[in-house]
Amino acid sequence: MVTLGASAAGLKDQVEDGERIAFLDQALWAALLAESPGTKFAVAWLTLLCRQLKDVERGLLVLRGPDGELSPAARWPDGDRGSSEIAQAVALCLEHKQGVANVNRASAGRDAAQTSAVAYPVSIGGQVQAIVGIETLSGGDVAARELMRGLRWSAGWLELAFLRGKNSDLAARLSRTTIALEIVALIQGAKGFDHQARVFATELANRSTATRVAVGWIKRRSCRVIAVSHGIAFSKRMELIVKIADAMDEAADQAQTVMFPPPETIGALVTRAHAALLQKTQASVAISVPLVAQDKIAGVLLAEFDSQTHPAQQDVDLLEAVAALAAPALDTSRAAERNLFIHAYLASCAAAARLFGAGHLGLKLASFAVIALTVFFALFKTEYRISARATVEGEVRRTIAASIDGYVASEHARAGQSVKEGSVLASLDATEFKLQRLRAIAVREQHQLELSKNLAAGQRADVNILGAQIDEAEAQIALLDDEIARTTITAPFDGIVLSGDLSQSIGAPVQRAQTLFEIAPLDAYRVILRIPDFDIDRVKPGDHGTLTLSALPDDRFSFAVTAITPVAEVSDGQNAFRVEGRLETISERLRPNMEGVTRVDVGQERLIWIWTHHLIEAVRIAIWSWWP
In this predicted structure, which of 169-183, 269-283, 525-539 has the lowest mean pLDDT?
169-183
Look at residue 585 in the predicted model and tell me its pLDDT.
79
Q: What percent of the chain has pLDDT over 90?
A: 5
Look at residue 599 in the predicted model and tell me its pLDDT.
92
Q: What are phi and psi of 156, to 5 degrees?
A: -60, -35
Look at residue 168 in the predicted model and tell me its pLDDT.
55
Could you give the CA distance from residue 502 to residue 509 in angstroms, rounded to a whole number? 11
Could you give the CA distance from residue 613 to residue 242 in angstroms, rounded to a whole number? 57
Answer yes or no: CATH 2.40.30.170 is held by domain 524-626. yes
Other beta carbons less than 10 A from residue 173's beta carbon: 12
Look at residue 36 in the predicted model and tell me its pLDDT.
54
For 501-540, b/e burial (b = at least 16 CB within 10 A) is bbeeeeeeebeeeeebbbbbbbeebbbbbbbbeebbeebe
Residue 466 amino acid letter: L
Bond from prior residue into 77 cis (ω within 30 degrees of 0): yes
Q: Which of 302, 287, 197, 283 is nearest to 242 (CA)?
A: 302
Report the SS3 class of residue 91: helix
Q: Which of 524, 533, 506, 558 is nearest to 614 (CA)?
A: 533
Q: How confident is the model at residue 105 (pLDDT cuts 50, 70, 90)?
A: very low
Per DSSP (E only), the strands in 230-273 are 258-260
Tens digits of per-residue pLDDT, 450-471?
A: 878 877 777 777 778 878 888 8
Could you give the CA distance from residue 404 to residue 274 in angstroms, rounded to a whole number? 120
Mean pLDDT of 475-502: 80
Look at residue 15 in the predicted model and tell me its pLDDT.
33
Tens digits of per-residue pLDDT, 495-538?
A: 778 777 777 778 788 888 778 787 877 777 889 898 888 888 88
- What are the beta bridge partners of residue 229? none
Mean pLDDT of 610-622: 87
The dihedral through the CA atoms of 14, 18, 21, 23 has a sign that is negative
Tens digits of per-residue pLDDT, 592-604?
A: 888 999 999 988 8
Q: Which of 289, 200, 296, 284 is nearest to 248 (CA)?
A: 289
Fold of 190-337: Beta-Lactamase (3.30.450)
Please state the domain extents for the chain.
Answer: 15-168, 190-337, 398-518, 524-626
Could you give the CA distance from residue 499 to residue 152 in angstroms, rounded to a whole number? 115
Q: Do the Cβ atoms of 293 and 209 come closer than 8 Å? A: no
Higher pLDDT, 390 or 495: 390
In this predicted structure, which of 216-225, 291-300, 337-346 has the lowest mean pLDDT?
337-346
User: What does the mean pLDDT of the chain come to?
Assistant: 79
Q: Do the Cβ atoms of 318 and 232 come closer than 8 Å? A: no
Q: Residue 171, exposed/middle/buried by CB under 10 A (0-12, 13-18, 19+)?
A: exposed
Could you give the CA distance from residue 247 to residue 254 in angstroms, rounded to a whole number? 11
In angstroms, what is the C-alpha Rg of the chain? 59
Q: Which of 542, 557, 562 is nearest to 602 (CA)?
A: 542
> Domain 398-518, what architecture?
Beta Barrel (2.40)
CATH code that applies to domain 15-168? 3.30.450.40
Q: Residue 301, exposed/middle/buried by CB under 10 A (0-12, 13-18, 19+)?
A: buried
Asked if the domains at 15-168 and 190-337 fall in one CATH topology, the answer is: yes
Q: Do the Cβ atoms of 398 and 529 come closer than 8 Å? A: no
Q: Do the Cβ atoms of 549 and 583 come closer than 8 Å? A: no
Residue 192 pLDDT > 70, yes or no? yes
Look at residue 111 in the predicted model and tell me its pLDDT.
44
Q: Which of 209, 217, 266 is nearest to 245 (CA)?
A: 217
DSSP 414: B
0.75 exceeded by the pTM? no
Give the torsion through C-alpha atoms of 47, 50, 56, 62, to 10 deg: -70
| Helix residue ranges per DSSP H, 427-524 | 431-457, 460-486
Look at residue 302 in the predicted model and tell me its pLDDT.
92
Residue 294 amino acid letter: Q
